[in-house]
Amino acid sequence: MLAMLLLLLAMQPDLLSSHGKKAVVLLFVRTDCPVSNRYAPELQRMYQKYSLRGVDFWLLYPESGLTAAAMEKHRREYGYTIPGLLDVRHQYVIRARARVTPEAAVFVRGQLVYRGRVDDRYVDIGTARPAATRHDLEDVLAAVAAGKSVRQRETKAVGCAIENLQ
């Protein structure tokens, strides 16, 4: 699995060139972020639903010092089948302008059309609603999958800060 991941990374120099897909979704997560980890079932559900409708998904791990083996362990522990990549040099963090985990970035034809929260379940760190009332990421994915144009928009994601590079 690890060898296949490294080969895929070498063969895939730019995740944002969609290769005929409707969109590419980058999901920024951390292994040590409780907010990010609580979203694992929801992220996995959207992956299963929208990857069948022409949307590519990638889990991006922007943690410095994280190894590929630790990333794979996290993916197994949280039941992810979404492909994962390390982004320790913040190549995709910069392109998506991501600030926290979890945070989603949706690209259509290489252009960022959405950046922000998965939904509004978390109002602030430590403050959560019993259930989300707005499903921002899913709304964008449903529009993209239906072939509708999506205007660029942002929402404020709540979670763990992405560390700056030294």
Q: Which two tokens stand for residue 24?
A: 């590419």
Q: Is residue 5 part of a domain?
A: no
pTM above 0.75, yes or no: yes
State the sign of the Cα–Cα–Cα–Cα dihedral 12, 15, 19, 24: positive
Residues 6+ apart with CB under 8 A from 48: 81
Residue 53 resides in a domain:
yes
Answer whether residue 66 is part of any domain. yes
Of all helices (H) and strands (E), which one includes residue 28?
strand 23-28
151 within a domain of the structure (yes/no): yes
Q: What is the pLDDT of residue 82?
A: 96
Domain CATH code at residue 64: 3.40.30.10
Residue 1 lies in a domain: no
Q: What pLDDT shows up at residue 12? A: 45
7 occurs within a structural domain: no
Kindly state the DSSP code that residue 62 receives in the 8-state scheme: -
SS3 state at 73: helix
Q: Does residue 135 fall inside a structural domain? A: yes
pLDDT tens, the chain, 166 aa long: 544 444 444 444 466 665 557 899 999 999 999 999 999 999 999 999 999 998 999 999 999 899 999 999 999 999 999 999 999 889 999 999 999 999 999 999 889 999 999 999 998 888 889 989 999 999 999 999 998 988 889 999 999 999 885 4
Give residue 7's pLDDT.
41
Please state the domain count of the chain: 1
- Domain range enclosing 29: 17-161
